[in-house]
Every structure is written in C-alpha cells, then in structure tokens.
Amino acid sequence: MEMNREVVVTCAVTGAGDTVGKHPDVPVTPEQIANSAIEAADAGAAIVHIHVRDPETGIGSRDVDLFKDAVERVRNSGRDVLINLTAGMGGDLVVDDDDPTIAGEGSDMVNAETRMAHVELLRPDIASLDCGTINFSDSNLIYVQTPNMLRTMAARYQEIGVKTEMEVFDLGHLRFANQLVIEGLIDSPAMYQVCLGIPWGAGADPATMSAMVGQLPPGVFWSGFGISRAQMPMVAQAMLLGGNVRVGLEDNLYLEKGVFASNGELVDKAVRIIRELGGRPCTADETRAKLGIK
C-alpha cells in the first residue's frame, strides 16, 4: 500500500441520524443542507454526500421533493462539486420484542425502486449503495439491504449512468461488494466507501481499516471514514493506506472536544491534515477523472 498524495475529500453534510437535538446547527431544511454543502465545497470538498430531513421534525426523510430542492440549490450555486445522494432510506426495521413477526414503531421498509426514486429523477453524479444488512443500534433497529435489492439498485444505477458508491460497514459487506464487481454490475473504476465505527459494524481503528483495505480488488477508488472522535484519525489513516477521505456532520459533530463543528470547518481540518502529510485535495474535475465520470 502506498500513501495517497492526491486526496479526494467527501463531505457528508447531514445524515439521517438523531443528531438535531445534539448540535445547534445540524442542517435540516433543503436550504440549510444546500448552504452547508456549498460551504463544504468552498472549503475543499470535491464531493458532497446528501441526505434530507423533514423540515418540521428534523427526522431523516426520503421525500423526493426535498431532495430536488436541495440538489437544485447546490447545482444553481455555481460551485463545481460532485453530488452524491444517499439511497439508504427505506431499510429501517425495528424488531418488536414481544412479537418479532411485526415491524415495530419506527420501521420504514420500501422496495428497491422506491429507494431510488430521487436518484431516477435527479441523476446525481454518484449514489450510495449500502452493501449489506447490519445491526444499526444497540437495541432493536436493523438496517436491511438484501442481495436482491442491492443487485436491482446497482443494475439500475449502471443503466442510468449514475456512479455507484458501495458503502461497506464490515468485511461481509465488502465481500458482497466485490461480488457485484465480479458480476459486472459495477463500472470501472469501482468506488468503495469504508465506513467504520457504526454500531455494530467494523470498528474505527487502524488495524480494522488495514484489514478491510487488504480485501479491496486492485485498481479501485476507495475512501474511508470513522465516526465521532475517530473521524480525523481515520482521515490520516485512509491517506496513509492509499485512499481518499470523508468528513462531515453526518459522522461527527465536533471540531474538538466540546466545540461544535460546521461542515466547512471539518473539511478545513481534513485539508490541513492532508497538507501536513504532504498531500493536497483534488478538484472536482480531477475527481471526475479518477472516477470515470463525464
């Protein structure tokens, strides 16, 4: 593994987690999300990864109109930044303790086509594909992605010319992502996101990132991140292992202990780490070239 000195920075702007009450300025409305994405682009992010939230409740949403509003604001801003839309909403299964055959309160399960409705409409540069099912809390929330769903989504992304970002939260996910590549459902160069620290996936530590990177096929494009206090250490670790990086309020709310961050500040800090290690952040055009996006 050789250190990467030309690093693509992704900013995951807001996510869908229960963070609104934990940070005073988590972006919620489409305008706030777009403005925060623009701030991240101005700070050096070449890719912005976008979720949307219900403007009234702050809860993560898959409303197509909210995605349309946020995306159009970024596109109309004049910033040259790649748009990466989540397609992860609609896989939440809350298992009822008393009757596991019934989906509990908070479940939101839809088919592959419904998960992709906003991607079909907006045709972003990139859309995410979470490559497996995972215990996504410390209680009864399971995030569900079946092989059938994943193959359906990957094939459709390929048909409409949207780059697939395969998010892998554990070695089993990575194994399945590699299988999608083998089956020809992922265009070259394959794009992987190594996601670390999420309950209960792979841990955010150097040994785990190294183990996962060791299972990547040759010649792929990959990024890595850790959540919470591991975010900046994993920026350095990903770069040292030859990868690219992701930061943002989806994964971490703090600039340092007790100091709330903005997306722009998190990108600024990541860029400083990249430069201190002897590298530089890539432009949007350079990123398109690396990913084969025209």
* Topology classification of domain 6-291: TIM Barrel (3.20.20)
**What's the chain's average pLDDT?**
97
Q: Residue 12, SS3?
A: strand
Give start and end residues of each alpha helix (H) in 165-205.
171-182
Asked if residue 236 lies in contact with residue 269, where contact means CB atoms within 8 angstroms, the answer is: no
Summarize pLDDT for 27-80 with one digit per residue, the tens. Answer: 999 999 999 999 999 999 999 999 999 999 999 999 999 999 999 999 999 999
pLDDT for 169 beyond 90: yes
The answer to whether residue 200 scores a pLDDT higher than 90 is yes
Residue 35 has which token pair? 């403005």
Share of the chain above pLDDT 70, in %: 100
22: Cα separation from own chain's centroid: 20
The CA distances from residue 188 to 148, 149, 279, in Å, are: 22, 21, 25
> In sequence order, what E strands does 169-271 have?
191-196, 221-226, 244-247, 254-256, 259-260
Query: Token pair for residue 146?
Result: 């079946």
CA–CA distance, 45 with 274 (Å, rounded to integer): 12
d(CA 126, CA 110): 21
pLDDT at 1: 79
* Backbone dihedral angles phi then psi of residue 150, each to the nearest 5 degrees: -65, -40
Structure tokens at 288: 């398109």
List of residues 6+ apart from 167 with CB closer than 8 A: 88, 128, 129, 130, 131, 173, 193, 195
> What Å distances lie between residue 136 and 218, 233, 235, 272, CA to CA?
30, 23, 23, 32
C-alpha 287/C-alpha 289 separation (Å) is 5
Interval 249-270 mean pLDDT:
98
Q: What is the dihedral of CA 85, 19, 245, 243, to 10 degrees?
A: -90
Instruction: Return the pLDDT at 31.
Output: 98
3-state secondary structure (DSSP) of residue 248: coil
Three-state DSSP class for residue 290:
helix
What are the tens digits of pLDDT across the range 89-144? 999 999 999 999 999 999 999 999 999 999 999 999 999 999 999 999 999 999 99
3-class secondary structure, 63: coil
Quote the CA–CA distance of 277 and 280 in Å, as a whole number: 9
Element (H, E) at 163: strand 163-168
The pair phi, psi for residue 138, each rounded to 5°, is: -100, 15
Element (H, E) at 50: strand 47-50
The model's pLDDT over 206-231, given as tens digits with 9 standing for 90+, comes to 999 999 999 999 999 999 999 999 99
